């Protein structure tokens, strides 16, 4: 019997609602991934990756899992790890919010901070060092683990199609962190509705995908400053950049105008989605993701 499928937590992940935002063009539908038990879209990816790890015999009481994270993957892993009896060690850039650190430690995870100047690459490097120093430890490696996009191919994508029904989906807009969400959902939507435009969102200050230039930015959760293996650019039709300030402004607007208490990367997604919506007719729709909620960003917003 699968330990993952036996967990009550497992059955709380997914089946999230979406919220419509009317625009002068197509309406924008925001899928509320903050409703997941760990508070973010990363619950899906971690569940997918742990399912594959279990199939490999890696999930056992007391085992050590080490993972680099900007926060949400770590929170989801710490949550599932607590329920599975795993020792969770996370490496994270020191620039991530204080709230994220506190949530991770509340779940009992061990946290190692890496220099902010090194971005996620520094967290990945330190993760590799810990793995080499810790016999029997394993990593999910969210940036290349096929369980990450797979989870979105079998849950998020089909859910969006079901919620849309016979209605048109003109575009799907998602920020790129690990590439799992946009790749997994993008493949499903294109297979079912070939005319869907898949739009990647990245920080204006770090336009790696659009201009090949990485830089410092403040949109936590996207823009890892390297191109992740899980990013399938063959499904991406367009790349849109959003500044850190615009992402923060839209996150505040979502809370104050729509009552959607959303994080900074959600602000970036919605900002980009609203631009794309102006290019589509009112009877179409743009779908995007609420990556997480705003309570992990109060100190930086």
Distance (Å, whole) CA 152 – CA 150? 5
Tokens (6 digits) for 128: 């590799």
Tell me if 267 is assigned to a ligand binding site: no
Is position 42 annotated as part of the catalytic site?
Answer: yes
Residue ranges of E strands in 80-129: 87-93, 110-114
Is position 102 annotated as part of the catalytic site?
Answer: no
Q: Which residues lie across from 289 on neighbouring strands?
A: 31
CB of 139 closer than 8 Å to CB of 131: yes
Using alpha carbons, list the distances in angstroms from residue 71 to 58, 103, 170: 23, 9, 31
Work out whether strand 28-32 and strand 18-21 pair parallel, antiparallel, or are unpaired.
Answer: antiparallel
Task: Starting at the earlier edge strand, list the strands of the sheet with 238-242.
Answer: 18-21, 28-32, 286-290, 171-175, 197-203, 238-242
Tell me if 147 is assigned to a ligand binding site: no
Tell me if 288 is assigned to a ligand binding site: no
Q: Exactly one of 70, 265, 284, 296 is catalytic; name it.
A: 265
Tell me if 51 is assigned to a ligand binding site: no
Could you give the 3-state DSSP secondary structure of residue 65? Answer: strand
Q: Exactly one of 42, 190, 248, 296 is catalytic; name it.
A: 42
Tell me if 218 is assigned to a ligand binding site: no
Tell me if 265 is assigned to a ligand binding site: yes
Using alpha carbons, list the distances in angstroms from residue 282 to 37, 240, 254: 34, 21, 21
Tell me if 36 is assigned to a ligand binding site: no
Q: How far is CA 69 from the centre of its chain?
A: 11
Q: Apex CA 105: angle with CA 103 and CA 107, to 5°?
A: 75
Residue ranges for the binding site for pyridoxal 5'-phosphate? Answer: 72, 177-181, 265
So which residues are the catalytic ones? 42, 265
């Amino acid at each position: 019997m699968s330990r993952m499928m036996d967990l009550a937590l497992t059955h709380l992940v997914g089946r999230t609602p979406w919220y419509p935002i009317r625009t002068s063009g197509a309406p924008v539908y925001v899928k509320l991934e903050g409703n997941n038990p760990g508070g973010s879209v990363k619950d899906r990816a971690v569940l997918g990756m742990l399912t594959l790890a279990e199939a490999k015999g890696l999930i056992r009481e007391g085992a050590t899992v080490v993972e680099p994270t900007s926060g949400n993957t770590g929170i989801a892993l710490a949550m599932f790890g607590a329920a599975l009896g795993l020792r969770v060690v996370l490496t994270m850039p020191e620039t991530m919010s204080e709230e994220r650190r506190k949530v991770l430690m509340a779940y009992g995870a061990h946290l190692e901070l890496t220099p902010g100047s090194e971005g996620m690459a520094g967290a990945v490097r330190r993760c590799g060092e810990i793995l080499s120093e810790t016999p029997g430890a394993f990593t999910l490696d969210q940036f290349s683990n096929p369980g990450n996009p797979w989870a979105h191919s079998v849950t998020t994508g089909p859910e969006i199609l079901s919620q849309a029904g016979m209605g048109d989906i003109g575009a799907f807009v998602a920020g790129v962190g690990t590439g799992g969400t946009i790749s997994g959902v993008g493949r499903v939507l294109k297979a079912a509705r070939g005319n869907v435009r898949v739009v990647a969102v990245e920080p204006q200050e770090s336009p790696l995908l659009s201009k090949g230039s990485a830089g410092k930015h403040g949109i936590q959760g996207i823009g890892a400053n390297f191109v992740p293996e899980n990013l399938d650019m063959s499904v991406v039709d367009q790349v849109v950049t959003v500044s850190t300030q615009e992402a923060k402004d839209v996150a505040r607007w979502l809370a104050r105008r729509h009552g959607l208490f959303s994080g900074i990367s959600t602000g970036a997604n919605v900002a980009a989605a609203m631009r794309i919506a102006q290019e589509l007719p009112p009877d179409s729709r743009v779908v995007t993701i609420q990556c997480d909620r705003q309570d992990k960003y109060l100190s930086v917003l």
